[in-house]
Each structure stands twice: as C-alpha cells, then as structure tokens.
Amino acid sequence: MSFPTHRPRRLRQSPAVRRLMRETHLAPSQLVLPLFVREGISEPREISSMPGVRQHTLDSLRAAAVAAAEVGVGGLMLFGVPVVRDAVGSGADDPRGILNVATEAVVAEVGDALVVQTDLCLDEFTDHGHCGVLAADGTVDNDASLERYAAMALAQARAGSALLGLSGMMDGQVAAVRRALDDEGFTDTLLLAYSAKYAGAFYGPFREAVDSQLQGDRRTYQMDPANAREGVKEALLDVAEGADVVMVKPALPYLDVLADVRASVDVPVWAYQVSGEYSMIEAAAANGWIDRRGAVLESLLGIRRAGADTILTYWAAEAAAWLRE
Ligand code: PBG
C-alpha cells in the first residue's frame, strides 16, 4: 500500500518539473521603468533614499532609455522635475516644459522599441505640490483641475507620448482627457488610469525624487488605505470613462485590491511598485538582511500572481536583464 495518497511534492521534485508546472511567469515586456528627468542640471543626481535611481539630465535620460530598450523592457514612464513651479503648474502643458521636451527626445531615441509613457499629474509642476489647482479656500478644485489635465494631456500627446498615466485622482479625469484628445485627433493615445491610488506612507522617497513641495497631504483625493471595495468602484468608473488600462498603487500592501480589480474588469490591470517598496528592499539588502535579487524577483512575481499584467518598477531594467540570463 502506497501512502499518502496525495503527494503534492511530486510537482516540485526537480527544476525541470517545477519549470513545467509553473503558473505565473515574469517577462521583460511586462515591466515598465519609471525615469526622472530634471531641468537645469548638467550631471545626473543620485536620489539618496532610492539608491540606484537618479534624476537624469536629458542626455543621461536618453542613455537610460536606450539601455532599458536593449534589455527588452516593455515601456518607460517619464516624470519631469521643473526648475520653476507656480500655482497652476504652467510647466505641465508648456511645450518647452521639461517633461514635454524630454518626451520628444526619448520618443525620437527609442519610440519604436518600447512604449514611451508620461505621468499626467500636476504635482511636480505646482508650487503647493498638490495634484490639482486650489480653490480660494485652499482645497483642491476638482473641475478646475480637469481643464488643466486636458491641456496637459494635449501637450504630452503632441510631444509624442503614446500612453498617458493619469495619476491625479480627480473625478472625471479619464473622460475629460479622452474627450480633449479625441477632439484634437489623438484617438490612438492610450490612457492608463491610476484608478485605485491610495494615500499612504509608501511614496516618501518619490518626494525626494521629484523635489516635491507638498504641504499637507493628499487624503481628500487619493484613497483611504482601509477601503478595498472603493478601489473596484474607481476602476469600474475609469473603464466606463474610457480608460484602456487601470492600475492599483502601491502594489505589495494592496494585493487584495489588485486581485479584486482583476476579477472585475476586462481591460489590462497594472500595478505600481512604488518608491517606498523599492527603498525597503534596497535598505534591507544593503544591510545584508535579505537576498536582494531573490527578494526583488519574488516581489514582482507576487504582484503578477495577484493579477497584474504589467508592473511599474524601479528595478525594471535590472530585472529584465536577470530574466534574460
Ligand atoms: C503623482 C505620482 C506620485 C507617484 C507617482 N505619480 C506621487 C504621489 O501621488 O504622491 C509616486 C510613485 C512612487 O512613490 O514611486 N505625480
């Protein structure tokens, strides 16, 4: 008599069997690399809270874009850091604004090899650091911000961005941006809605990456970390407004939301492994407390397993290179 009857270990007995039985796969094309470009610097600057990530010059940005394309990364998400900021974020829709200039340069360099994308958010361009314009009482004015987003979207599309990442968390922004683009003939510009974007502690290092001036917090527009159903609602609204892709952000603390959203929509679902998630693993690895490569790949696999088709991650180029070994 052979005992036990069920032997799940049979599926794990050798590398060849495990490879054949694997449910979830990671590929370079499923990774998107966020890149920061800063106006008015002649040398790239390290971001101390994100070891290995830099604020690029236009030249070093182009080089990083080429390197990412060479290892097969699926896309780049560009963020601009302007020198001058004002109340309405004028640099955002100025064709000579840093993000739009950088987009043109990167599209010219690698636009055929991967999908060049831009962060559609006012916070890097406003002097108060909020993702919208302020009303007289200091609150973020939703509908006035939509007009700014429509203008910003047109500037980004004209600069050649193929996919706009709507990360402002304003109500109705997907519809407003879609309409503005379609009216100008940009019917093929893809819209990625940061649908379930939570207000939390994991964006800390990003603030350094973009020299953020934020006063206060984003809790009147980004979501309460306690709410999962509301994340699904936001994703469904964005799909109804015309989003081509929806996203959950951050990733690891919100895998339940990711799985719920995946089950609720029929568009691609992406996840953003944000700055704080990056810095935690980097810090632990730098202390010798964790195996860096193992932890990075396991975190990416976990995000894929929970339902993400594609992941924005600061490790995109490095992980892509590992995956090709
Ligand atoms: C908005 C934006 C933010 C991030 C991506 N887009 C900042 C915020 O909403 O507070 C955070 C990304 C990260 O932490 O890696 N422009």
**Cβ(277) – ligand 1 distance below 6 Å:** no
Q: Render pLDDT for 303-312 as a digit per residue (tens, 0 to 9).
A: 999 999 999 9
**Cβ(119) – ligand 1 distance below 6 Å:** yes
- Top mutation candidate among 117, 120, 121, 173 for ligand 1, by most atoms within 8 Å of CB: 121
pLDDT at 215: 83
Show the domains of the chain with their CATH numbers. 25-324 (3.20.20.70)
Eight-state DSSP code of residue 198: B
**Cβ(55) – ligand 1 distance below 6 Å:** no
Q: Render pLDDT for 172-220 as a digit per residue (tens, 0 to 9).
A: 999 999 999 999 999 999 999 999 999 999 999 999 999 988 888 999 9
Structure tokens at 179: 């309409």
From the list 158, 168, 143, 292, the residue with the least C-alpha distance to 234 is 168
ipTM value of the model? Answer: 0.97
Annotated binding-site residues for Mg(2+) read 234
Compute, in angstroms, the gap from residue 213 CA to the centroid of ligand 1: 13
Q: Render pLDDT for 159-169 as a digit per residue (tens, 0 to 9).
A: 999 999 999 99
* pLDDT of 324 over the 70 cut: yes
Compute, in angstroms, the gap from residue 205 CA to the centroid of ligand 1: 9
pLDDT at 194: 97
Mean pLDDT of the region 21-40: 98
Upstream peptide bond of 4 is cis (omega within 30 degrees of 0): yes
Mean pLDDT of the region 125-132: 96
Eight-state DSSP code of residue 86: B
**Cβ(121) – ligand 1 distance below 6 Å:** yes
Ligand 1, atom 2, residue with closest C-alpha: 167
Eight-state DSSP code of residue 109: H
* pLDDT of 1 over the 70 cut: no
* pLDDT of 235 over the 70 cut: yes
* pLDDT of 58 over the 90 cut: yes
Compute, in angstroms, the gap from residue 206 CA to the centroid of ligand 1: 6
Ligand 1, atom 16, residue with closest C-alpha: 121
> What CA–CA distances, in Å, run from 71 to 44, 84, 118, 130, 323?
22, 35, 20, 35, 9
Structure tokens at 135: 């009303």
Handedness of CA 213, 215, 217, 218 (dihedral sign): negative
Please tell me the pTM assigned to this model.
Answer: 0.97
Average pLDDT in the chain: 97
**Cβ(167) – ligand 1 distance below 6 Å:** yes
Structure tokens at 308: 């993400």
Alpha helices in 22-114, H assignment, sequence order: 58-70, 98-110
**Helix/strand/coil for 188:** coil
